[in-house]
Amino acid sequence: MTGKSNAGNAKGGRTRRYTMAGAAIDAPPVEPALYLVATPIGNLRDISLRALETLAAADAIACEDTRVTRKLTAHYGIDAPLTPYHEHNAVEARPKILARLAEGEAVALVSDAGTPLISDPGYRLVRAAVEAGHTVTALPGASAVLAALGVSGLPTDRFFFEGFLPPKQAARQKRIAELSTVPATLIVFESGPRLAAALADLAAGLGPRAAAICRELTKLHEEIRRAPLDELARSYDEGAETRGEFVIVVAPPVEEAAADDAVDEMLRGALLRVSVKDAVGEVALATGRSRREVYQRALALTRDDGDAR
């Protein structure tokens, strides 16, 4: 039964419900399986109804940090038992979770924030569950990777998620050199204390590519800074805010500057859709030409088109 209820959906000695807007809602039963449940990356309202139903109905919730996940479950009145599963205890915890699945239980796997398996050891559990013949299903939702990519203003047709760069400078610089030829938009996680150093190395290794720094996504103090990498590196070296969680998005490399005719053709198409300023930015990013040069070509095109009329 779903909807408001006083009785609850009792199983295993507890009620299986969640609360929303002050109403207690029974969670429908779920089949035995491992459920990969995306949770909010900041704003607790960024969660699906299906996720709430599954978390409430699950026999257990496997999570990175029980203190973090308990804030979410307490907010929605969910009393499913929490069991830690993280990189430090995965070897010991994984067989216990697999045993629960073998006994016909439903286990939800969550990360501290966002979609599980991104920069966490969940994929090993998924692989083991699949090999054991258990059902694994995903409940999609919030993702810091996709949220940052979307607001960056950079190409989204192809992207490469790196996760965290190495903390030590020599290893970080080596990895950045390896990433420099990846023909895709780069997405990197970084902590506040290491942000300035990471940006300095990114600017040195990748050049003045267009980039975006996304801080505290979906939270009260969300901030998006868009500028060439070298400008961003200077701003954080000079004391820009480094408290919070960061995602760095960097434009792909430009293989070679486009021919003049190609630039003009792209400009004509862009000018039919957007302003001169936006068209210049779009074409400069796509072709590798400087904004000043593209702007001059745009002015020439608009002047020539006006003369032709």
List the CATH number of the domain containing 35.
Answer: 3.40.1010.10
Nearest-angstrom CA–CA distance, 306 and 113: 53
Residue 184 — pLDDT band, cuts 50, 70, 90? very high
Nearest-angstrom CA–CA distance, 230 and 173: 15
Range(s) of the domain holding residue 243: 145-250
Nearest-angstrom CA–CA distance, 31 and 146: 29
Q: Which of 111, 142, 173 is the last residue of a domain?
A: 142
Q: How high is the pLDDT of residue 258?
A: 58
List the CATH number of the domain containing 200.
3.30.950.10
- 137 and 32 within one domain: yes
- Answer whether 113's CB lies under 8 Å from 144's CB: yes
Q: How high is the pLDDT of residue 4?
A: 41
Residue 5 — pLDDT band, cuts 50, 70, 90? very low
Q: Please name the residue that has the structure tokens 């109905």.
A: 57
Residue 283 — pLDDT band, cuts 50, 70, 90? confident
Whether pLDDT at 97 is above 80? yes
Domains in the chain: how many in total? 3
Q: What average pLDDT does this structure show over 78-101?
A: 96
Asked if the structure places residue 255 within a domain, the reply is no
Give the torsion sign (CA, 115, 119, 125, 128): positive
DSSP 269: H
- 169 and 131 within one domain: no
- 67 and 83 within one domain: yes
Q: How high is the pLDDT of residue 309?
A: 40
- 132 and 24 within one domain: yes
Residue 6 — pLDDT band, cuts 50, 70, 90? very low
Q: What average pLDDT does this structure show over 232-237?
A: 92
- 299 and 264 within one domain: yes
Q: What average pLDDT does this structure show over 239-262?
A: 82
Q: What average pLDDT does this structure show over 204-211?
A: 93
Q: What average pLDDT does this structure show over 100-114?
A: 97
The CA–CA distances, whole Å, from 104 to 131, 196, 201 equal: 16, 49, 50
Asked if the structure places residue 235 within a domain, the reply is yes
Whether pLDDT at 13 is above 70? no
- 187 and 222 within one domain: yes
Residue 186 — pLDDT band, cuts 50, 70, 90? very high
Tokens representing residue 35 in the block: 């459920």
Average pLDDT over the chain, rounded to whole?
90
Q: How high is the pLDDT of residue 304?
A: 66
Q: Give the orientation angle of helix 291-308 with respect to helix 276-287, to 10 degrees.
A: 130
Output helix, strand, coil percentages for the chain, rounded to the nearest 5.
40, 20, 40
Q: Which residues contact 40 (CB under 8 A, 6 or more apart)?
A: 46, 47, 72, 113, 114, 141, 142, 218
- 151 and 138 within one domain: no
In the chain, at which residue ranges do the beta strands (DSSP E only) sit?
17-20, 23-26, 33-37, 60-63, 82-84, 106-109, 136-139, 159-164, 185-191, 210-215, 223-228, 245-250
Q: How high is the pLDDT of residue 1?
A: 35
- Answer whether 109's CB lies under 8 Å from 85's CB: yes
Whether pLDDT at 253 is above 80? yes
- Assign 3-class secondary structure to 174-185: HHHHHHCCCCCE
Nearest-angstrom CA–CA distance, 274 and 209: 23
Of the given ranges (49-53, 63-67, 174-178, 298-302), which has the lowest mean pLDDT? 298-302
- 224 and 275 within one domain: no
Q: How high is the pLDDT of residue 3?
A: 41
Q: What average pLDDT does this structure show over 51-69?
A: 97
Whether pLDDT at 10 is above 60? no
- 135 and 48 within one domain: yes
Nearest-angstrom CA–CA distance, 133 and 129: 6
The pTM is what? 0.78
Q: How high is the pLDDT of residue 308?
A: 43
Asked if the structure places residue 12 within a domain, the reply is no
Q: What average pLDDT does this structure show over 215-234?
A: 94
Q: How high is the pLDDT of residue 269?
A: 86
Q: Which residue has the higher pLDDT, 221 or 9?
A: 221
Q: Which of 231, 250, 269 is the last residue of a domain?
A: 250
Q: How high is the pLDDT of residue 11?
A: 57
